[in-house]
Structure 1
């Protein structure tokens, strides 16, 4: 459903993404992990069709995200970093607007809007201006917009950022429920979230993939059997080798 092939992206002289390749099938939830500046969000923006790669390609349902951008985006739900939404709108009107922009109308639009808002538990805040909402409810609103058209591919950049523990559990449960027939990629800084919702994990740093396996297999690479230790070992070890090579 999702194929990323030798993806490359530069910003000036910096290689943000450097030869990244992976596939995600329906039923898989891929945790996309890495330190700040590793290339996670850039990769996700390219997958969502918000950036064009300098090299390589992405296919969603067989559609190239550059050559067949609209067809690929029709199959993709994207929660961007920061969960942007129009502050003057309400969750109700924002999700409705996003569906209308995708060509939905009438009873189908209304049903999809209401289902998405119910699934993210916006509750009584659906008619409040987004500008007045807490960070957690703003993120719920953006998540509702990402899932409202029931896409087979979901790209979620920090979906639980800003949520309290109960809200995080609700979103994790929603992701697990949706994962049966969707290909889902989640970027997160919360490592304990990965074994809770992800069937597979990729660790990326300096634009390159360092590990691609189940969370348990990656964790087993350390004596402690902990994912956070494996993450630190892979990324800080890479920093140390880089300094030694420079010396």
Structure 2
């Protein structure tokens, strides 16, 4: 544990941020932490794909399928994946609201009125990312659900209407993150640690406006054309393996 802390808890991987705090007080606090100025340099992340499965009793299956996504170090690509997440269906924007987009249409066509919950998955890290979907449904419907969502992911087709809706939803999420001190300080901390820069809400909204349909389709093709990974827990009798989704 001490070795891990010594190599990772250092100034190059730390950010001290504050909201409504005097700058001199914040600087003084940061200096008092006496963090080491050097540590073990990080190595780049490599994506391989594969399976992680855990069978448990019950009649539900919970499945995540993903391929390579966008790293926050590449803002243009990261924003394209964020727009894609909202365009495909990142969850209802309002309580009990519908989830529009290609994922919702694909799942509805495959399962009809069967019980299922889903959302596009987008995880962006410093130098890598994951993009795909998560779905929870009754075990007997899991295979059909995963197949339908995988086909939608692999299609790489995102309409202009979906892109515009995705951009609007992402801008709402950004403005919401900047709307309160508690969410703002978390956003500032993440940006400072991962990108070494903190942008204003207006700057991010402007960058989102600059994302094109081609950018979003390129992101979709990057994730969908790659070797996929599958993580699943529950009754997995009907859940396919990653090799079945090729």
TM-score, structure 2 normalization: 0.26
What TM-score do the two structures reach when normalised by structure 1?
Answer: 0.26
Larger relative contact order, structure 1 or 2 (CA cutoff 8 Å, min sep 6): 2
Higher Cα radius of gyration = 2
Structure number having the greater helix percentage: 2
